[in-house]
Amino acid sequence: LKIAVLVSGGGTNLQAIIDAINDKKITNASISIVISNNKNAYALERAHNNNIKNICISPKEFSTKEEYSDALIKVLKENNIDLIVLAGFLVVLPEKIIENYPNKIINIHPSLIPSFSGDGYYGLKVHEKVLERGVRYTGATVHFVDSGTDTGPIIFQKPVKVLENDTPEVLQRRVMEEAEWNIMPKAIDYIANGRIEVLNNKVHIKE
C-alpha cells in the first residue's frame, strides 16, 4: 500500500506511522510522500530525517481552490498513491480529491466523534471544549473522509480519561500519546492488510 501523508504541523502522528512501519507494526505499506501546506511544518523535517520524499504545496500558491486541488491530485497520481492519510492536516480537502479517492482518505480527530467534532473543532480548541463541558472521557477517532467535516465512516476509536487538573495542553498530549499514535498506525495496518471493509457507510473490521 503506497501512502501519502498530509501534514500541517509538528508531525507527531507522521512520526508514529514512520515508527510503526520501522517496527513492523504496520506491514505491506510504505510512505511514498509527505505533503504539507505549511513550508515550516516540522513534519517535513521528520520526513527528511527518515529519507521520505516530502514537498510543500500551499493553497496560497494558487489563485483558485481548483488549481490547488489539481496540483495535489497530479502529485498523488504521479506517486501511484493508494491511501491518503491526513495527520494533523488543517486544510479542508477539496471535494475533487474526495471524489477521486472514495474511502481512500483517512483522518485522525482528537475526540470521540461525533462529540466535539465538525466545523471549528481542531487542535487545542477540541480539548478546551472537552474540559469546559466536564466530560469524564475523551479520546481520538480515525475515520474515512467524506465530503463533510469529521463525518465519514468510523474505523477505530480509543477512549482517554479526563483527569482532575487537566489543562488543554496536558490533555492534548495524553490524547496523542495514548490514543492517536495508537489507532492511526493500527488503521493503516488493517487497511494495508485488507481487514477493513465499508458497507452502507459503516466500517466492518475483519479481525
CB of 16 to ligand GRF, least distance (A): 8
Which run of H or of E encompasses 2?
Answer: strand 2-7
CA separation for the pair 195, 108 (Å, rounded): 19
CB 192 within 8 Å of CB 27? yes
- Whose Cβ is closer to ligand GRF: residue 176's or residue 196's? 176
Alpha helices, H only, the chain? 12-22, 42-49, 65-78, 95-100, 124-133, 168-175, 181-192
Strands 2-7 and 83-86: what pairing?
parallel
151 carries a ligand binding annotation: no
**Residue 109 among the catalytic residues:** yes
138 carries a ligand binding annotation: no
CB of 77 to ligand GRF, least distance (A): 25
User: Which residues of this protein are in contact with ligand GRF, per CB under 6 A?
Assistant: 7, 9-14, 43, 87-88, 108, 110, 123, 172, 176, 180
CB of 88 to ligand GRF, least distance (A): 3
> What does the chain come to in residues?
207
Place of cell 470521540: 112
Q: Give the residue at shortest CB distance from ligand GRF.
A: 88
74 carries a ligand binding annotation: no
CA separation for the pair 56, 112 (Å, rounded): 30
- Whose Cβ is closer to ligand GRF: residue 94's or residue 109's? 109
- Whose Cβ is closer to ligand GRF: residue 8's or residue 32's? 8
- Whose Cβ is closer to ligand GRF: residue 59's or residue 123's? 123
Nearest partner of 148 among 166, 127, 121, judged by Cα: 121
CB of 193 to ligand GRF, least distance (A): 23
201 carries a ligand binding annotation: no
Residues annotated in a binding site: 11-13, 65, 107
Residues annotated as catalytic (active site), given as ranges? 109
